[in-house]
Amino acid sequence: MAVSPTLHPFLTAPEIDRLITQLAARISEDYAPRLSDTGALHIIVTLKGALFFAADLIRKLTVPCRVDFVRLSSYGAGTKSSGNVRILKDIETPLAGEHVLIVDEIVDSGRTVDFLVNRLKASRPASVRVCGLLSKPSRREIPVEVHYLGREVEDKFLVGYGLDYGEKYRNLGDICYLES
């Protein structure tokens, strides 16, 4: 018989909002003097999980930006990374000379960010930085730099605010941890 998992509150919507306000202020301040050549910050959102985070973050930025999307897969339907990163949907705009900011909702093993940063660098952007809402440092398999981080979290499987478990729970306003 299937047992339904229990959801425990982890970060409430107002707490998430505060983290994002701080991130957006830092990013805006850092990039304001750097965009005179390109005119805009080039944001790459990792689908599907970073959907809500990116939408909220981008609306709080005070610098001009362009937005593109990438969809990578390293997870199957469960809670463990499969280790292989595949491109399911590639970016659509050229990156040469751009200041690129990757927006990801959670950095876990680091494989996704490592893969993406290396791949984007091959297009010769002016810079590439990473913004993550959450990071689980204890799970890191590949060291990656997260230049703008909302919060470190312990090794718990999280859902809500874009984070899913087998495509469920993305639409929760709060972030919760799952206990099965």
Return the one option of ligand IMP, Mg ion, none that residue 109 interacts with (CB less than 5 to 8 A, by type): ligand IMP
Residues 36 to 55 in contact with ligand IMP, rule: CB under 6 A: 46, 49
Q: Find the shortest distance in angstroms from Cβ 159 to ligand IMP.
A: 6
Stretch that binds ligand IMP, among 4-12, 31-39, 92-100, 103-111 (CB under 6 A): 103-111
Q: Find the shortest distance in angstroms from Cβ 75 to Mg ion.
A: 8
Phi-psi region of 120 (alpha: psi -120 to 50; beta: other; left: phi over 0): alpha
Q: Is 17 a catalytic residue?
A: no
Question: What string of H, E and C letters represents the secondary structure of the chain?
Answer: CCCCCEEEEEECHHHHHHHHHHHHHHHHHHHHHHCCCCCCEEEEEEECCCHHHHHHHHHHCCCCEEEEEEEEEEECCCCCEEEEEEEEECCCCCCCCCEEEEEEEEECCCHHHHHHHHHHHCCCCCEEEEEEEEECHHHCCCCCCCCEEEEECCCCCEEECCECECCECCCCCCEEEEEC
Distance CA 5, CA 20 (A): 28
Of residues 98 and 114, the one with the C-beta less far from ligand IMP? 114
Q: Does 74 bind ligand IMP (CB under 6 A)?
A: yes
Return the one option of Mg ion, ligand IMP, none that residue 10 interacts with (CB less than 5 to 8 A, by type): none
Q: Which of 49, 110, 132, 160 binds Mg ion (CB under 5 A)?
A: 49
Q: Which of 24, 43, 44, 107 binds ligand IMP (CB under 6 A)?
A: 107
| Residues that are catalytic | 108
Give residues in contact with Mg ion (CB under 5 A): 46, 49
Q: Which residues bind ligand IMP (CB under 6 A)?
A: 46, 49, 74-75, 81, 104-112, 157-159, 163-164
